[in-house]
Amino acid sequence: MKKLLAILFFIASVPLLGQDWKPSFSDALKTAKEENKPLILVFTGSDWCAPCIKLDKKIWKSEAFRNYSAEHYVLYKADFPRKKSNKLEAALTAENQKLTEKYNPNGFFPLVVVLDNSQNVLGVTGYKNIAPADYIALLNGFLK
């Protein structure tokens, strides 16, 4: 019975996971090229950066952003967690560090970089205390 409840809980929680954040930047870039979509690269400290956590809860996990981004963007989070329990694999940490050197040399968190599928920077922003629809409009403004 406990196993059945655990399975049902997992299945019920899957839709809450949100949009498709790619597991690596190389996967995100490949998808962006294949689908001819811009890429949103987010530098975050998911377990220590208060504005990063607010951005995640208020924008990235909002229904409006999840629905819109699924059709219009490819997403990747370059995460820099501090807790041992959230530690990333060494290869992913190295990939994120290289991205920081190229796109976030000043180490701002959160930093949201909109790239075309050739890795050209179209725009940069951070956390803004605005509605998801306004944040989508802000990101789309970089595409013009």
For 80-107, what is each residue's pLDDT tens digit? 999 999 999 999 999 999 999 999 999 9
Q: Point out the least confidently predicted range of 19-23, 36-40, 65-69, 125-129.
A: 19-23
Identify the CATH number of the domain in which residue 132 sits.
Answer: 3.40.30.10
**Residue 57 domain-assigned (yes or no):** yes
- Domain assignment present for 2: no
Domain total for the chain?
1
Instruction: Confirm if 45 and 81 have CB atoms less than 8 A apart.
Output: yes
% of the chain exceeding 70 in pLDDT: 88
Asked if residue 3 is part of any domain, the answer here is no
pTM: 0.86
CA–CA distances in Å: residue 86 to residues 13, 45, 83 = 20, 10, 5
- pLDDT greater than 90 at residue 15: no
Range of the structural domain that residue 51 is part of: 21-141
Reported confidence tier of residue 39, pLDDT bands at 50, 70, 90 = very high
- Residue at 6 is within a domain: no
